[in-house]
Structure 1
Amino acid sequence: MRILHVLDHSIPLHSGYTFRTRAILRQQQLLGWETFQLTGPKQGPSSGDCEQVDGLAFYRSGPARGLKARLPVLRQVAIIDALEERLLRLARELQPDILHAHSPALNALAALRVGKRLGIPVVYEIRAFWEDAAVDHGTSSAGGLRYRATRALETYALRQVDAATTICEGLRDDIAARGIAANKVTVIPNAVDIEDFTVGCARDEALAAQLGLCGKRVLGFIGSFYGYEGLHVLLEAMPAMLRLAPDLRLLLVGGGAQEQALRAQAAALGIAEQVIFTGRVPHSEVQRYYDLVDILVYPRIKMRLTDLVTPLKPLEAMAQGRLLVASDVGGHRELIEDGRTGILFTAGDAGALAAQVLALLATPERWPALRAAGRRFVEDERNWGASVARYRAVYGNARKGGAQ
């Protein structure tokens, strides 16, 4: 089977989106399928029409051009047009059996145009509702014109494609509420490559010394600093935790739109010396930072995006046998069983976060069972082999003309 994936962006950019893509492609190739992958204009500058990254070949679209690309309202149309043109040429050359478009809807619309012209079935994968992410980023308002237009495009694409997938039950329920047939949408959950994660790696004492963490108990967050991640809640909880656990330190690895605000908040709270910002680190170095952390904290705030979407980071933590404390948003509750595979606290409540972290630190006898249960969960239910195998039925239904 030959699958041509249509993507918003890919590695070498780092995000949950690009890491999920990489895992899917590798697993599909292990199944004996031929995969080809094209990114849209939003990928940004690249070294050419086709770029080799981490053993995978990504075709690039180049930027959207012309007057429409310079006008805010028409820019999205220009992106679809540019992607359609590149995809049409590529599909004619590669002759895939399936066009597999991934969020956002712009990719699905371009794939639908090409699929219709060439008679190729289209599968659309919703990884998040981008209108909700735009609200968090401040580029759209909930229920506003842009929000409603984006949502309408998603719904239109879902109605037109031959089959659809999504990453979790929360998103599937929302899709079904739009009147999309339940048998048209398959959940392909986020997962991990168990072989990529080792339990019980030794602490890098040289790195600990460099960061001032020798002899300290460490809370950590490793990822992108988006507003919805709720890192401001974690900082707000730190003074209360430090009063009872003065040896505690917070390690924040990564960067993003909220970094400067978080640095300013730490200074205003008088905890700048107890919070270590590393900036972004190379992917090959991330494990060294994980190995310094005693408890990983995921304090996502409650909103549509976090209630509907399951993140990858808690799964990666469980795969390493890590202790984790997370807010009780819907996306976390779908992954974490409170008290068995991790600890949940009331989203947005800094006091509740502090109480749960301190309680966990005070009961080390609980740690082995929590670590083992988390590891078993990803081994048994959230491995990429089992997850990606679900595409076989999806592609089969699409080639037969979609769900009836």
Structure 2
Amino acid sequence: MMHFLTNLRLAVGTAAEHFTDDPALLLLHISRLLPARLVQPTARLVSSCAGKESYSSSALLTGLMSGEEQEVAGRLEAALLRGRLSANQARALADVSLVANRPDLDDAFLARATEARRFRAAQARRFWYSGAMTPAVEILENAGGGAERRQGRRLAAELRILEGWRPEPAAVPFEPVPRHALDVLTNSLPHTASGYAHRSHSILLAKKQARWETLAVTRVGYPVKVGKLKARNRDVVGATYQRLLPSRLSATMDGRLQHQVEEVLAIALEFRPSVLHTTSHHVNALVTRAVAEVIGIPWVYEVSGHLADTWAATGGAEARGSERYTLFQERETEAMLSADLVVTLGRAVKDNIVADGVPEEKVLVALNAVGGAFLAEPLPPAEARVQLGLDPKGQYVGTVSSLVTVSSVVTYEGINDLTSAFGILAPRHPRLKLLIVGGGVALPSLKEQARTAGLRERIIFAGRVSRSRAHVSHQALEVFVVPRRDLRVTGSVTPLKPVPALACARPFIASKLPALQEVVSDGTNGLLCNAEDQADLAARLEMLLADSQQRVRMGRNGRRTVLKTRTWTSSAQAVGAAYERILERFR
């Protein structure tokens, strides 16, 4: 009971902070943590009661919760034309516009909100959104309200970190134990089921099999900060994850990182690792480097993506010239240069790392891979569908994915393009169905798209499922599809999701992007289509659906290659061998 009360206090404190900084965004985040079966009907009820013409901030937020982004944008535009808005109404609608990723509308509402309460806070949010961090901090420096002053201090701390602030742990005597590896992670199983979490977990398990003693520690406040109020201080799910769950957090990010360094150092003194291993982004590196330096052991930085580009995808081309983007890239490069080894997951990412000035010999590619049940002989599609309660006589295409959103109109995964391509094929393929497995913030808008297109009965949204059910879901498909959008980040970062599908001997269709071409060989284990081209995707799908022999051939080719070159055991062996090389230099 005590741990629950501690977690509750931590969660309430976190929510209060976010409510001060950005109340509209907080409400949207809370809706995404709650079960969709509760959120969606409630949001639709509130929206319908308010009426389609309503431009109250609460009605517009519930519209965003229901996936009605385009309709919400239209109502915001209509509100601007009405003319009769109080300053406080305009400021509230400015906040909604920013959450809806419409900075142009935010600017228009802010122009009418200059006399509103907490106008400076709304202005700071707008600057911060665009990457203008110094103006955001400066505008709150002399704020009158206590809430705005607290918001200003928090933003100033984040800016300090991006400008090069470092934590300062106290020196301690230390004696490492050989073949002990401590991992510092952002999140993990069982509370987060992302590709990041699965990759970290699989490598931890494989390192254990290779006779490394492993322990992982997650960021301070996780997983309570993502709504897991029953979380314990330690989870053992094959790998062991230590949590850092104080009853309250420091009010600023630099204070939290200083606290995290001290906690990780205490864990290291007990566990006595010979190497520290962390994953991007640079904040994890900041903590890990500080601990490694004070106890005198090497540390490894695993770069799983380009989070600066992830952020910049919301702001368009101008975001890459912003203060935030520039500082973020500087800190990432600094982290890579100071690490003893940089690990990444594909050739495209490695090329970018080397282009940033990191010596090539310092960068190890540890490919995304498979293990466990995926190594066993896969089921025939019809048998897998029976296990899932699906029609064994149907034809199923689809994907198993995290349905993340970059902005209200841009998604990473391009599942909306897949849905549109399915709409092209559905009239002439009556047995064809689309299976989408996974959850995320894009799910409500995808369901709305299916409803509007009249395809709700033929598109199955399975939501988040267990790992074993996800495994069977791969096998239930005739064709696995990864229709990623053409963004800078998707062009360079190879996702995990293609590899399990190939291990299940399923042919693949993927967007023609450099990162995906590392996995999908056009005509050998699948087909490539033009990114964001729904007609081309539909044509490729139809080509494979018409030729069962080609599907079998491609599936066999894909599985053969994965079993030969992409197992977690082989990736962990490569990482372990690299550990030994850097440890040799330390001796």
Sequence identity of aligned pairs in percent? 31
Residue in structure 2 matched with residue 83 of structure 1 by the alignment: 260
Classify 1:259/1:142 alpha carbon distance in 2 versus 1 (closer, same or farther; 3 Å): farther
Q: Comparing both chains, which one has the higher relative contact order based on Cα–Cα distances under 8 Å and sequence gaps of 6 or more?
A: 1
Q: Kindly provide the amino acid, as one letter, of the partner of residue 344 in structure 2.
A: T
Q: Kindly provide the amino acid, as one letter, of the partner of residue 241 in structure 1.
A: L
1:240 is aligned to 2:424: yes
SS at match of 1:276: strand
Residue in structure 2 matched with residue 299 of structure 1 by the alignment: 483
Mean Cα deviation higher: 81-90 or 36-45? 36-45
Q: Is the 8 A contact 1:83 1:107 kept in 2?
A: no
Residue in structure 1 matched with residue 443 of structure 2 by the alignment: 259
Residue in structure 1 matched with residue 122 of structure 2 by the alignment: none
Deviation at 1:50?
2.3
Specify which structure has the higher proportion of helix: 2
Paired with 2:261 and 2:202, the residues of 1 have a C-alpha distance of: 25
1:105 is aligned to 2:282: yes
* Uncovered stretches (5+) of structure 2, i.e. residues with no partner: 1-178, 225-229, 405-410
Residue in structure 2 matched with residue 39 of structure 1 by the alignment: 218
Instruction: Pick from 557, 561, 566 the counterpart of residue 373 of structure 1.
Output: 557
1:133 is aligned to 2:317: no
Instruction: Pick from 507, 513, 518 the counterpart of residue 329 of structure 1.
Output: 513
Paired with 2:535 and 2:564, the residues of 1 have a C-alpha distance of: 34
Deviation at 1:27?
1.1
Deviation at 1:30?
1.2
Q: Is the 8 A contact 1:80 1:107 kept in 2?
A: no
| TM-score (ref. length: structure 1) | 0.91
Q: Kindly provide the amino acid, as one letter, of the partner of residue 118 in structure 1.
A: I
* Uncovered stretches (5+) of structure 1, i.e. residues with no partner: 69-74
Deviation at 1:375?
0.7
Q: Kindly provide the amino acid, as one letter, of the partner of residue 188 in structure 1.
A: A
Aligned-pair RMSD on alpha carbons?
A: 2.2
Q: Kindly provide the amino acid, as one letter, of the partner of residue 240 in structure 2.
A: A
Deviation at 1:42?
5.7
Residue in structure 1 matched with residue 369 of structure 2 by the alignment: 191
Classify 1:91/1:151 alpha carbon distance in 2 versus 1 (closer, same or farther; 3 Å): same
1:6 is aligned to 2:162: no
Residue in structure 1 matched with residue 346 of structure 2 by the alignment: 168
Deviation at 1:197?
3.8
Residue in structure 1 matched with residue 113 of structure 2 by the alignment: none
Deviation at 1:268?
2.2
SS at match of 1:273: coil
Paired with 1:236 and 1:205, the residues of 2 have a C-alpha distance of: 23
Q: Is the 8 A contact 2:184 2:279 kept in 1?
A: yes
Deviation at 1:287?
3.0
SS at match of 2:297: coil
Residue in structure 1 matched with residue 470 of structure 2 by the alignment: 286
SS at match of 2:302: strand
Residue in structure 2 matched with residue 50 of structure 1 by the alignment: 234
1:22 is aligned to 2:201: yes
Deviation at 1:400?
4.1
SS at match of 1:43: coil
Classify 1:152/1:42 alpha carbon distance in 2 versus 1 (closer, same or farther; 3 Å): farther
1:159 is aligned to 2:337: yes
Residue in structure 1 matched with residue 294 of structure 2 by the alignment: 117
1:93 is aligned to 2:270: yes
Residue in structure 2 matched with residue 71 of structure 1 by the alignment: none
Mean Cα deviation higher: 254-263 or 36-45? 36-45
Considering only CA atoms, is the larger Rg found in Structure 1 or Structure 2?
2
Q: Kindly provide the amino acid, as one letter, of the partner of residue 393 in structure 2.
A: G
Q: Is the 8 A contact 1:128 1:309 kept in 2?
A: yes
Q: Is the 8 A contact 2:417 2:533 kept in 1?
A: yes
SS at match of 1:344: strand
Classify 1:119/1:327 alpha carbon distance in 2 versus 1 (closer, same or farther; 3 Å): same
Paired with 1:257 and 1:131, the residues of 2 have a C-alpha distance of: 20
Paired with 1:101 and 1:204, the residues of 2 have a C-alpha distance of: 37
Moved over 6 A (4+): 137-140
Deviation at 1:207?
5.4
1:60 is aligned to 2:229: no
Paired with 1:125 and 1:271, the residues of 2 have a C-alpha distance of: 42
